[in-house]
Structure 1
Amino acid sequence: MNRIILIITVIAAAIMELIDTSIVNVALNHMSGNLGATLEDTSWVVTAYGIANVIIIPMTSFLVNNLGRRNYYIGSIILFTFCSFMCGNSDNIWELVTFRFLQGIGGGALLSVSATVVYECFPKEKQNIASALFGIGVFIGPTIGPTLGGHITDNYSWPWIFYINIPIGIAAAILCYRLLPESPSRQKVKEIDWPGIILLIIGIGSLQTILERGETEDWFETRYIVVLTVTAVFTLLLFVYRELTTPYPVVKLAILKHPSLSISATLTFITGMGMFTSIYLTPVFAQRFLGFTPAMAGLMLLPGSVIAVFALIVTGKVLQKGVSPALIVLIGFCCFIYFNWSMSRLNLDVSMGAIAGNLIYRAVGMALLTVPLSTLAISRLEAKDIPQGTAINNMMRQLGGSFGISIINTYIIRRMAQHRVDLVSNVTPDNRLTPERLQAYTSLFRSKGFSYDDAHHKALMLMEKVVGQQSSFLSYIDAYLFIGVAFIAALPLLLFFLRKKGNKKLVIASADH
C-alpha cells in the first residue's frame, strides 16, 4: 500500500510541475494589467521558469548524489510550493519573475527524480509499466495546463494558478518524508565540479533565453540576442569538453556512448517538439480562425487525453509481452505524422468534432512514443546511471519543446509573409473576382448608410483584412506540415535500434554492438 501511495504522490508532483510549464500562458494579459507591466515584460514569467527548469534538470543526478535523494526531493517540493505562494503574492512583475525562476529550480527535481522513484518501485521486468504510469503524467501535464489556467483566470483570479500548487505540495512533502527511501545507488562525489556547474548555467541559460525571446526580439537584429548566441555556443562547447575530461562531472555525458540513450534522447527531442508545438498551435488555431472559446478548445483536447491514458497503459503491457519498443515508436511516429498531415488539410468549415478526431491520433501517437522511448533510454544503463540518463532524456524533451515553439513561430511569420505576397499578386483588376468582391463589400457598407467613398474605403480595408486572415490561416496549416516532415526525417534513427536475427525477427539492439 505504501508503494502505491508513493507512486501516486511522485506522479502527482511531476504533473504539478509540468502543468506549471503552460498554465500561466493564458493569464499573461491579466498579469500585465494587474501588475502594471507591458506584455513583453510579463512574458518573462514564462521564460524564467523554462530557463530554470532546463538548467536544473541535467544536474539532478549530481544533486541527488551530494545532497541525498530524500533531502533534495523534499527540499525541491518545499521550494516549489513556497515560491508558488510568493508568485501569487507578488506586487510587481520582476518580483514575480524572480520567484517564478526559483519555482522552476524547485520543479526540476519533480520531473527527473519522480521518474526514477517510479522505476525503482517496479522490478526490472515490469519497468515498462512504470514508464506507462509516469508517461501519463508527462502527457497530461502540458495538455491540461492551458485549459486549467483559462478556467481559473476566468472564474477566479490569476494568483490562484499558483495557489492551487500549495495543498498538493504540502501533501507531497509530508508523504515523501514518511515514505520516500534514500537512493540505493547514491554515490557521493569527492570533488564538486564548479566549472561545469557554472558553464552549464551560463550555456543553457543563454540558449533557453535565445529560444524563448528570439522571435519577440527579432532574432539577430537585437544586440543581446547576438551576445547570448555567442555565449551559448562558446560555453556549451567548453561544458562538453569539461564533462568528458573531468573525473567528477556534474553531468555524466559519457553515458551517451550507449546508443539506447543517445538515440532515444534524439527521438525524445523530436517528440518534445511535436508534443509542445501541437498543444501550442491547436488551441490558438481553433480560437483565432474558428471562433472557439477557451472552454471549447479545452473540451476539444479532452477525448484524446482520455484515450491516451488507456493507450499508455496498454503500451506498457504490450512492451512487457516482448514487443519491440522500436516497432511501437514507429507506429507512434506514423500516428503523429498522420495527425499533422490531417491538420494541414483543414479549411475554415471544419467542425470541432473533426479536430477532436485528429487530436486522438496525436494523443495515441504521444502515448506510443512516451513509454518505449523512456524504456529505451535507460534499458542498457547501470543502476547508478539511471538517474542521470533519465535527467538527460527529460532535458531533451523540454529542449525539444523550446526549440519547436521557437522554430514554429519563426516559420509561421515567414510563411505568412510569403502567402500574403502570393495572395496580393492575385488581387488585381485583371482577376474578375477582385472587382466583384470589391463591389459586393462596397454594397454591403452602402446598405449600412455609408457614403460611396466611405463604403469603398471600408471595402478595401475589409479585403486587406481577409487577405491577412487567409495568409495567417495558411501559415498555420503549413506549420503542421513542417512538424510532420520533422517526424519523417527522424524515422531513419529507428534503424539503429533494430537488427535481424534468425527469420528477420526484430529485436532491440544491444548497446555492446
Structure 2
Amino acid sequence: MSGDDNIFARLSPRTRTLAGMVLALSNLMVVLDLTIANVSVPHIAGNLGISADQGTWIITSYAVSEAICVPLTGWLAMRFGAVRMFTLSMIGFGLFSLLCGLSMTLGMLVVCRIGQGLCGGPIMPMSQTLLLRIFPPEARGRAMGLWAMTTLVGPALGPIVGGYISDNWSWHWIFFINLPIAALCIFAALALLRPVETHMVRVPIDKVGLFLLIFWIGCLQIMLDIGRDHDWFADPLIVTLGLLAIIGFVAFVIWELTEEHPVVDLRVFRHIGFSSGLFTMSLCYGAYFASIVVIPQWLQTSMGYTASWSGIVTAQTAMAALFTAPIAGFLLSRVDVRLMISGAVAWVGIMSLVRAHWTSDIDFGTMLIPQFLQGFALPFFFIPLTTLTLGSVLPRETASAAGLQNFVRTMAIAIATSLVLTEWGDSQRVARNAMANVLQPDQTQSVLSGVGLSSEQARQMISNLVEQEAIVIAVDHVFFLSAIILFVAALAVWIAPKPRASVDTSAAH
C-alpha cells in the first residue's frame, strides 16, 4: 500500500461503492469454485468414465495449486502492481474456467483446474488489499464486512449452484458460469481501480524456495491422490513419492530458515500462539471439509439423491453461519478468543458424533438438523482464530503470518480430501468383509425366490443391501474420526497464550 495521503480522494463515494461490490464479487467467485465441484464429482466421473476417487482430483488439484500461489501474492503485487495483478489473475481465472468447461478428459480437466487455482490464489488476498486501499479507515469495517460475507456465502452457494447446474444443465456449466463474472470484474477493475494502482518495485524472489515448495507439495499430493489405486506403500512408486516429499520438505525448511527473502517465512513458527493456532486450524479445516466431500458422494452414489438435494444438505452449515457471524464479531473484543474457538470446535465435534449414528434409512429432515446446528459455531471458530494467530506474532510479521495461515488452511483442505476418501474406502471394505463373514443368505434367498426373483436376482439384491450398509457404516466411521480430531483441536488451542488486545487483521486473507 502506498503512502499517498490523497489516495481516497481519487475515487468518488459512488466509485468506491461500485469497486467494493466488484471486489467482493470476485472473492465470492473464487470461494464458490472451491465447493461448487464437490457435488458435481459423481456427474463428472460418470461423464468422463472415471471412478469417483479419481474425480476428487478435480478438488485437490485446485486447492493445492491455489495454496502454492498464495505465498507469492505479496511479491507479485509489488512486482507488477496490485490492480494489474488482480486484473491479470481474473483474466487467467476466466480463461482456465473456459478450458475446464471444454475439457473432455480427466487429464485436461485436472491441468486446467491447476491453472484455475494458480490464477485464483492471488484474487482473494488482492481483493482484500484493494478494498483496504480504496476505502478510508472509517469505512473499512463495513467494506470488510461485505467481503467477509462473501467468504461465508460462497461455501453455502457452491453445493446448491453446482447441484442445480449438474442436474438441469451439464457439469461443464459449473465452470462456464465464471466467464460473465470474470469479464465483469476485469472491465470494472480497468475502469474503476486504475487511480489506486500501487507502485511497482523490483524485489528479489526466492526461486530455490519456490521450486522446493512446488516439489514437495506436488510429490505429497500425487502420493495421496494415487495411493488408493496403487495399494499404498506396497507400490515402489508410492514409496518413492513419499521419500521425495520428505526430502523436499526438509530441504525446503532448511533453505527457508536461512534465506534472506524467503517465499514462506517459517520463522513465525517460533511464536507458540501462532503455531498452536495453525495446528488447530489445520485439524479443524480438515475435519470440517471431510463432511463437505463425503456427504454429497454418499447421498448421490448410495442414497439416490440428486446433486441438487445433496447440495442443499451440504450447504446448511454455511447457511446457519450467516446468522451468527455478526455475534462472533461483536464478542471478539469482549471474550477470550481461546474460549470462543474451543467451544465452537467442541460443538462441531458433538455434531460430528450425532452424524456418526446416521443409517441408510435416514430421512432428509433428520440429516438437515445436525448440518444446520453445526453452522452456528463456525463464525466463532473462523473469525477468532485469525485474531489468535495474528495476535501472537510481531506487527511486522503480520503479513507473512497471514499468508502462511492461508497456505496451511488451503493445504489442509487438499490433504484432508485425499485422506478422508482413503479412509472411507478402507472402512467400506472392512465393513463389507465383516458382514459377508456373518451373513447367512440362504433363508433370505428362499424368501426372495418365493416372490418371483431368480437366484441371480436374489443374490444381487442381497449384495446391493450389503454394499449400501457398508457405505453408511464407513460414513459413520469418518464422522467418528472427525469428532475425535475436533475434540483434540478444541484442547490444543489452549496451548496458545492469550493474544494481545489490539490486532491488525487487515493482512489476513
TM range (shorter): 0.7 to 0.9
Pair 1:376 & 2:375 matched: no
Name the SS of the counterpart of 1:214 in structure 2: helix
Assess, with a 3 A threshold, how the Cα gap between structure 1 residues 183 and 58 changes in structure 2: closer, same or farther. farther
- Of 335-344 and 408-417, the range deviating more from structure 2: 408-417
- Find the counterpart in structure 2 of residue 306 from structure 1: 319
Pick from 258, 261, 269 the counterpart of residue 248 of structure 1: 261
Q: Is 1:166 paired with 2:165?
A: no
Partner of 1:283: 296
Residue number in structure 1 paired with 2:6 = none
Query: What is aligned with 1:503?
Result: none
Distance 1:399 1:302, change over 3 A: closer
Distance 1:34 1:279, change over 3 A: closer
Aligned to 1:176: 189
Partners of 1:264 and 1:377 within 8 A in 2: yes
| Inter-partner Cα distance in structure 1 for 2:301 and 2:180 | 35
C-alpha deviation, 1:125, in angstroms: 10
1:120/1:237 CA distance change after superposition, 3 Å = farther
1:447 is matched with 451
Contact 1:337 1:487 in 2 (8 A): yes
Question: Distance between the aligned counterparts of 2:260 and 2:352, measured in 1?
Answer: 45
Paired position in structure 2 for 1:479:
478
After alignment, is 381-390 or 329-338 more displaced? 381-390
Opposite residue 54 of structure 1, the aligned amino acid is A
- Render the CA deviation track for 1:341-397: whole Å, top value 9, x for unaligned: 110122334321221110122212222211111233333556654443222111211
Conserved 8 A contact 1:214-1:406: no
> 1:438–1:459: 8 Å Cα contact kept in structure 2?
no
Please tell me the residue identity of whatever aligns with 2:339.
L
> What is the identity, as a one-letter code, of the residue corresponding to 2:281?
T
Greater relative contact order structure (CA < 8 Å, 6+ sep): 2
Is residue 215–residue 406 contact of structure 1 (8 Å, CA) maintained in 2?
no
1:20 aligns with 2:36: no
Cα distance in 1 for residues equivalent to 2:382 and 2:194: 25
Residue type at the aligned position of 2:120: G
Is the CA contact (8 Å cut-off) linking 1:52 and 1:101 kept in structure 2?
Answer: yes
Q: Which residue does the alignment assign to 1:267?
A: 280
State the shift of 1:269 in Å.
0.9
User: What count of residue pairs does the alignment treat as equivalent?
Assistant: 489
> Distance in 2 between the 1:239 and 1:426 partners?
51
User: How many angstroms apart in 2 are the aligned matches of 1:356 and 1:167?
Assistant: 33
Shift of 1:116: 4.3
Alignment of 1:53 with 2:52, yes or no, is: no
Aligned AA for 1:82? Answer: L
RMSD: 3.3
Report the identity percentage: 25
What code does the residue aligned with 1:328 have? Answer: M
Aligned-partner residue type, residue 16 of structure 1? M
Bigger Cα displacement from structure 2, 488-497 vs 187-196: 187-196
Shift of 1:34: 6.2
Q: Determine if the alignment matches structure 1 residue 103 to structure 2 residue 102.
A: no
2: distance between equivalents of 1:25 and 1:299? Answer: 12
1:18-417 aligned within 5 A:
18-28=31-41, 44-90=57-103, 93-117=106-130, 133-177=146-190, 178-179=192-193, 188=201, 190-319=203-332, 321-381=333-393, 385-417=397-429
CA shift, 1:339, in A, is 1.0
Q: What one-letter code is carried by the residue in structure 1 that aligns with 2:470? A: S
Letter in 1 for 2:480: L
Partner of 2:507: none
Residue 496 (1) aligns with residue 476 (2): no
Measure the CA separation in 2 of the matches of 1:176 and 1:425. Answer: 64
CA 170–375 in structure 1, closer or farther in 2 if over 3 Å, else same: farther
- SS class of match (1:215): helix
TM-score by length of 1: 0.84
Alpha-carbon distance between aligned partners in 2 of 1:333 and 1:122, rounded to the nearest angstrom: 34
Partner Cα separation in structure 1 for residue 337 and residue 403 of structure 2: 20
For the structure 1 residues 485 and 133, does the alpha-carbon distance in structure 2 shift closer, same or farther, using more than 3 Å as the test? farther
Contact 2:206 2:263 in 1 (8 A): yes
In terms of mean alpha carbon deviation, does 155-164 or 175-184 score higher?
175-184
The alignment partner of 2:185 has SS state of helix
Q: Secondary structure at the match of 2:438?
A: coil
Distance 1:358 1:235, change over 3 A: same
> What do residues 283-338 of structure 1 show as CA deviations (whole Å, max 9, x unaligned)?
2333445433322222334544332112112211221x422222211121122011
Q: Report deviation, 1:225.
A: 2.8
Q: 2:70, 2:55 → 1: CA distance?
A: 24
The TM-score normalised by the length of structure 2 is 0.84
- The 3 A distance-change label for structure 1 pair 70 and 344 is same
Conserved? CA contact 1:139–1:366, under 8 Å: no
Q: Distance in 2 between matches of 1:460 and 1:159?
A: 38
Which letter maps to 1:309? L
- 1:422 is aligned to 2:434: yes
Counterpart Cα distance in 2 of 1:490 and 1:238: 29
Separation in 1 of the partners of 2:487 and 2:53? 35
**Other-structure match for 1:502:** none
**1:128–1:375 contact (8 Å) kept in structure 2:** no
Partner SS state of residue 350, structure 1: coil
